[in-house]
Amino acid sequence: MQKGERMKGYKSILSKSFAGLMAMVMVAGMVLPGARTVEAASQLQVAQYVKTAKGTVTGASGSNHGTYAGEWKASIPMADVMSAFEDKMKEEADAGHFPWDIETVSTSASIYYNVTFPEGVTVGNPTTSSSTNMIPASTISNSKSGNTVKFKFKLADVNWKTIYEYYKQDRAAGTANRTVNVTIPYTLTANSKQEAQALEAKTIDSTGNFSFYPSGSWGRWGIGKQTFNADLSKQPLATNFASSDVFQTQEVSQTVNIDADLKLGSDTGNNTITVQKADNMDFVGVINAKTIKDQMAQIEASYGTDADKIALSNLKTGFTAKITLPNELTFASKDAVLDGANGSFKIESVTGDDHSATVTFRLVNDDQIDTFAKLKAAVNKVDDELKVTFKTAKFNGNAQANTDYEVTGSISGDLTATATNKVSGKQINFNLTWNGKQTEAGKSVHNPSQIALSVRYAESTEQVFHADVKLPGDILVGDETEHNQIYEVAEGSKVAFTGALDVTPVKKQLKQVEAQFNQSHLDPASIAVSDYSSTFTAKLTLPDQMDFDGTPDVSLLNDNGKYKIISSQVTGRTITVTMTVNKNVTSFADLKDAVNGMDDQLKVLVNGTVFNSQAKADTNYTVRGIMNGQLKAKATNPLSGKTIRFSFNWEAEQLPSGADAINPTSKDISFTLKYKAAPKPEQEFHADVKLPGDILVGDETEHNQVYEVAEGSKVAFTGALDVTPVKKQLKQVEAQFNQSHLDPASIAVSDYSSTFTAKLTLPDQMDFDGTPDVSLLNDNGKYKIISSQVTGRTITVTMTVNKNVTSFADLKDAVNGMDDQLKVLVNGTVFNSQAKADTNYTVRGIMNGQLKARATNPLSGKTIRFSFNWEAEQLPSGADAINPTSKDISFTLKYKAAPAPKPEPKPNKPVAPVKDSKIAPKTGDQTQLPIYASLAVGALAIGLFAFARKRKADR
Domain boundaries, the chain: 47-243, 250-457, 461-675, 683-896
pLDDT of the residue at 762: 96
Q: Kindly tell me if the per-residue pLDDT of 926 is higher than 90.
A: no
Cα 175 to the center of its chain, rounded Å: 59
H/E stretch holding 167 reads helix 160-173
Q: What is the pLDDT of residues 784-799, one digit of tens each?
A: 999 999 999 999 999 9
Amino acid at 459: E
pLDDT confidence of 904, banded at 50, 70, 90? low
Instruction: State how far the Cα of 199 lies from the Cα of 50, in Å rounded to an integer.
Output: 19
Instruction: State how far the Cα of 304 lies from the Cα of 578, in Å rounded to an integer.
Output: 40
Cα 854 to the center of its chain, rounded Å: 29
Whether residue 9 contacts residue 943, with contact meaning beta carbons closer than 8 Å, is answered with no
333/154: higher pLDDT:
154
Helix, strand or coil, per DSSP, at residue 804: coil
Instruction: State how far the Cα of 294 lies from the Cα of 311, in Å rounded to an integer.
Output: 19
Percent of the chain with pLDDT over 90: 65
Strands (E) located in 792-837: 794-801, 821-831
Question: 553: closest CA among 611, 501, 607, 622?
Answer: 607
Q: What is the pLDDT of residues 54-108, one digit of tens each?
A: 899 999 888 888 999 999 999 999 999 998 888 888 999 999 999 999 999 999 9
Exposure class string for 177-202: b at 16+ Cβ within 10 A, else e: ebbbbbbbbbebbbebbebbeebbeb
pLDDT confidence of 940, banded at 50, 70, 90? very low
Q: Kindly tell me if the per-residue pLDDT of 24 is higher than 70.
A: no
Answer whether 0.85 is exceeded by the pTM.
no
pLDDT of the residue at 34: 35
Whether residue 620 contacts residue 543, with contact meaning beta carbons closer than 8 Å, is answered with no
Q: Kindly tell me if the per-residue pLDDT of 916 is higher than 80.
A: no
Q: Yes or no: is domain 250-457 CATH 2.60.40?
A: yes
pLDDT of the residue at 738: 66
pLDDT of the residue at 252: 83
Does 250-457 match 461-675 in CATH topology?
yes
pLDDT of the residue at 520: 57
pLDDT of the residue at 10: 46
Instruction: State how far the Cα of 359 lies from the Cα of 344, in Å rounded to an integer.
Output: 16
Helix, strand or coil, per DSSP, at residue 809: helix
Instruction: State how far the Cα of 589 lies from the Cα of 581, in Å rounded to an integer.
Output: 13
The residues pairing with 284 across neighbouring beta strands, listed in sequence order, are: 263, 389
Instruction: State how far the Cα of 752 lies from the Cα of 576, in Å rounded to an integer.
Output: 54
pLDDT of the residue at 413: 94
Q: What is the pLDDT of residues 402-418, one digit of tens each?
A: 999 999 999 999 999 88
Q: Among 233-242, 733-742, 891-900, which is the least confidently predicted range?
A: 733-742
pLDDT confidence of 905, banded at 50, 70, 90? low
Averaged pLDDT for residues 355-379: 92
Instruction: State how far the Cα of 563 lies from the Cα of 565, in Å rounded to an integer.
Output: 7
Q: Kindly tell me if the per-residue pLDDT of 390 is higher than 70.
A: yes
Averaged pLDDT for residues 375-395: 93
pLDDT of the residue at 199: 95
The CATH code of domain 683-896 reads 2.60.40
Question: Given the DSSP bridges, would you call strands 487-490 and 669-676 parallel, antiparallel or unpaired?
Answer: parallel
H/E stretch holding 94 reads helix 86-94
Averaged pLDDT for residues 424-446: 87
Q: Yes or no: is domain 461-675 CATH 2.60.40?
A: yes
Q: Kindly tell me if the per-residue pLDDT of 142 is higher than 80.
A: yes
Give every CB contact of residue 32 below 8 A, 6+ residues apart in sequence.
223
The rounded mean pLDDT for the chain is 86
